[in-house]
Amino acid sequence: MSFLFGSRSSKTFKPKKNIPEGSHQYELLKHAEATLGSGNLRQAVMLPEGEDLNEWVAVNTVDFFNQINMLYGTITEFCTEASCPVMSAGPRYEYHWADGTNIKKPIKCSAPKYIDYLMTWVQDQLDDETLFPSKIGVPFPKNFMSVAKTILKRLFRVYAHIYHQHFDSVMRLQEEAHLNTSFKHFIFFVQEFNLIDRRELAPLQELIEKLGSKDR
């Protein structure tokens, strides 16, 4: 949630995606912020009673996009073509970009280029009213959950890159508490609704287990 971040983190990589005030989704976001404030993240991610799962996933996906946007925005000066010529998460994991429409065949590119492609693609999905309807009564499409899963799978890669390649910069900026809380919230959410395949989470498996064990 945005309240986790101090004013120093107000620089975002892409424009923040706002949920219209007064809308039901805005109320859901406020509910999420209130339960997050209680400190129990396992509870905070659960579907509120009587709410629609698609809508809950949509609101949280927008929120994670905004959080990652801010986190990556704080370290963009350290993530350059020279420092990160490939998009990786440690020596064993490398990501190539394809979006299935503009770029059909996966291309190898630098991390800043990959993350730019990725965040622009996510933004386009979130801005598509047929995929992420913001008006009450407009139904979610049948493929909504599979699109949301793809978005979250790709957003995870930004966390993975930051942890593996830029954690020293995060610590120098004293942003590690923000990063850890944001990632823990993200992981608990995707685990609660089984939104990312376990294999995709492998680059940060040790960290995920550590974060989870603290809550047992």
**Residue positions in the annotated binding site for Zn(2+)?**
79, 84, 161, 166
**Residue ranges at the known binding site:** 79, 84, 161, 166
Contacts 24+ apart (CB under 8 A), 55-60: 55/24, 55/25, 55/28, 55/140, 56/28, 57/144, 57/145, 57/148, 57/193, 57/195, 58/25, 58/132, 58/140, 58/144, 58/148, 59/19, 59/25, 59/28, 59/29, 59/32, 60/32, 60/189
Angle formed at CA 197 by CA 97 and CA 35, multiple of 5 degrees: 105
- Give the integer Cα–Cα distance in Å for 93 and 68: 20
Strand 87-88 and strand 94-95: the pairing is antiparallel
Alpha-carbon distance of 131 to 128, in angstroms, equals 5
Q: Which residues contact 192 (CB under 8 A, 6 or more apart)?
A: 42, 45, 46
